[in-house]
């Protein structure tokens, strides 16, 4: 036994056999995808919005005629093609001239743990995903449960999560050279600001000051701000506001909680302050955003 202990000490191996996570595993361990909701419904001429979604959207239409417009460029959504629309992307929706309606299945989900600036370089525009067999199987399973109240809610949610993960993975594989370079640069960053990100996510309604966040990371305030900006692409205050707006959008889309209650719960001074911040980032006031996501609201 002494000889084994000596050998273990000599090789500097932990007695438990536990292998500490690598730098990249630590970074990737913070990544999380969460489904907000998914539906299937017929969209008509009222599907005409200009917005900047705080969460991700997956669209797959059963017929032709739906279009997006981005920076003055029109993009037609091909039937039975899965499209990913990243969070933070400004776009306009509409039906093509002469088209009265199209059936659309859509999934809304959140991607957390990645710096917003990195995702914007990986996904600067909507992505049309390839016809991969694994994606087709997950899409068919998810679609089969849409509108079926007899199916267990947990099972359908897991199908939606599987579809979101598969679509996101395929989307990442379509990244441009610039996006791949940004990805490599992020993986090379030390995860020193991870405690600050976790603390902001724990208290989005009252994010800590820069001094407290710097202490959590074991850095001086100026060094912390530089490291945070390098890793996230935003200041701590900007990141916290984005998280609050995203949480507000989810609350508006999911249920009937009053706008004033959402504003208060997420730390906005009042409804006016909340509406101004929300509209500046999303493109719609909170009440209009809620109507758009109501059943039959054609989102």
pLDDT digits (tens, 9 = 90+) for 84-140: 999 888 899 999 999 999 999 999 998 887 777 788 888 889 999 998 998 999 999
Kindly report the pTM of this predicted structure: 0.77
- pLDDT score of 298 more than 70: no
- CATH for 189-293? 1.10.10.60
Residues in CB range of 69: below 8 A, 6 or more apart: 75, 91, 92, 94
Give the per-residue pLDDT at 179.
Answer: 86
Give the per-residue pLDDT at 175.
Answer: 87
- CATH for 33-183? 2.60.120.280
Token readout for 181 is: 């370079």
Q: Residue 39 phi/psi, 5° resolution?
A: -145, 165
Give the per-residue pLDDT at 154.
Answer: 87
Task: Name the more confident of 226 and 19.
Answer: 226
In whole angstroms, give the CA distance from residue 101 to residue 96: 10
Domain extent listing, the chain: 33-183, 189-293
pLDDT band, very low/low/confident/very high, at 1 (cuts 50, 70, 90): very low
pLDDT digits (tens, 9 = 90+) for 28-44: 777 789 898 888 999 99
Which residues are 109's β-sheet partners?
35, 56
Give the per-residue pLDDT at 47.
Answer: 92
Do 189-293 and 33-183 fall under one CATH topology?
Answer: no
In whole angstroms, give the CA distance from residue 3 to residue 175: 52
* CB contact at 8 A, 91 and 125: no
Mean pLDDT score, 152-160: 87
* CB contact at 8 A, 52 and 78: no
pLDDT digits (tens, 9 = 90+) for 179-208: 888 888 777 777 788 888 888 888 888 888
Give the per-residue pLDDT at 213.
Answer: 93
């Amino acid at each position: 036994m002494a000889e084994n202990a000596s050998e273990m000490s000599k090789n500097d191996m932990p007695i438990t056999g536990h292998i500490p996570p690598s730098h990249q595993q630590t970074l990737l361990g913070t990544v999380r995808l969460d489904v907000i909701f998914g539906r299937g419904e017929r969209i008509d001429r009222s599907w005409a919005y200009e917005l900047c979604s705080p969460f991700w959207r997956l669209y797959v239409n059963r017929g032709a005629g739906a279009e997006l417009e981005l920076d003055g460029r029109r993009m037609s959504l091909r039937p039975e093609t899965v499209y990913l629309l990243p969070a933070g992307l400004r776009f306009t929706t509409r039906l093509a001239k002469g088209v009265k309606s199209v059936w659309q299945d859509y999934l809304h989900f959140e991607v957390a743990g990645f710096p917003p600036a990195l995702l914007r370089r990986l996904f600067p525009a909507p992505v049309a995903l390839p016809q991969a067999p694994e994606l087709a199987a997950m899409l068919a399973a998810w679609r089969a449960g849409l509108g079926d109240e007899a199916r267990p809610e947990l099972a359908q949610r897991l199908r939606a999560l599987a579809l979101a993960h598969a679509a996101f993975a395929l989307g990442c594989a379509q990244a441009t050279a610039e996006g791949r370079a940004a990805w490599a640069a992020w993986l090379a960053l030390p995860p020193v600001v991870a405690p600050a990100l976790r603390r902001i996510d724990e208290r989005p309604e009252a994010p800590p000051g820069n001094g407290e966040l710097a202490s959590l990371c074991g850095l001086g305030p100026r060094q912390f701000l530089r490291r945070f900006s390098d890793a996230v692409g935003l200041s701590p205050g900007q990141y916290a506001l984005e998280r609050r707006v995203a949480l507000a959008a989810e609350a508006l889309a999911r249920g009937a909680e009053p706008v004033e209650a959402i504003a208060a719960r997420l730390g906005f001074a009042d409804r006016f302050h909340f509406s101004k911040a929300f509209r500046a980032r999303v493109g719609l006031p909170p009440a209009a955003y809620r109507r758009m996501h109501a059943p039959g609201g054609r989102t």
